[in-house]
Amino acid sequence: MRVAFLTAPAGVEQSELEQPWKAVLNAGWEPRLVSTRPGEVQAFQHLEKADTYPVDDVVGQTPADEYDALVLPGGLANPDALRREARAVAFARHFFDAGRTIAAICHAPWTLVEADVVRGRTLTSWPSLATDIRNAGGTWVDERVHVCRAAPGTLITSRRPDDLDAFCATLVRELGAQEFGT
């Protein structure tokens, strides 16, 4: 199973990239860092620069069909930049249209709001996105992790870095079910 981790060139929250990445890797699947530009992605620990990560694939150059699932890490700047990139928004929307699993944490649902895929779905996020989600036709809940299986695909969402353990465990469980058709 190939899992795309979509990030902007800068602003991704390091823990929200690294921990799900390790969970996917430890489950025996292939994580791929997808960005809007080649090169490296600059991660942050809150507002402080942290590590950089090499980009594996570029949106628009690698078809979304080459991935089985999508993870959208948060951070404040990352999803804000992604939602302004039409190719990134279309990439995310493709996973819903194809019925594939999407996992988003913290501010990452902003990209999903822009892709117009939260309508009729229930999700959680960083609390300040609640109004955006409701205005986009979704239902916001305050939970560590929430799984919405509304057709056509599965949406896993979580609120913040403190919820990463639950987010990662749920991600692995749901992708395992997807992989084995259970």
Q: Tell the burial category of 73 from Cβ atoms under 10 Å away from its Cβ (0-12, 13-18, 19+).
A: buried
pLDDT at 182: 56
- Report the alpha-carbon distance of residue 1 to residue 3 in Å, rounded: 6
CATH number at residue 116: 3.40.50.880
The predicted-structure confidence for 79-123, as pLDDT tens digits, reads as follows 999 999 999 999 999 999 999 999 999 999 999 999 999 999 999
What is the residue range of 75's domain?
2-180
Q: How many domains does the chain have?
A: 1
Distance CA 72, CA 61 (A): 19
Q: How far is 48 from 58, CA to CA, in rounded Å?
A: 25
Active-site positions read 106
For the entire predicted model, the pTM comes to 0.97
154, burial (CB in 10 Å: exposed 0-12, middle 13-18, buried 19+)? buried
CA distance to 180, 181, 182, per residue, from 72 (Å) = 23, 23, 24
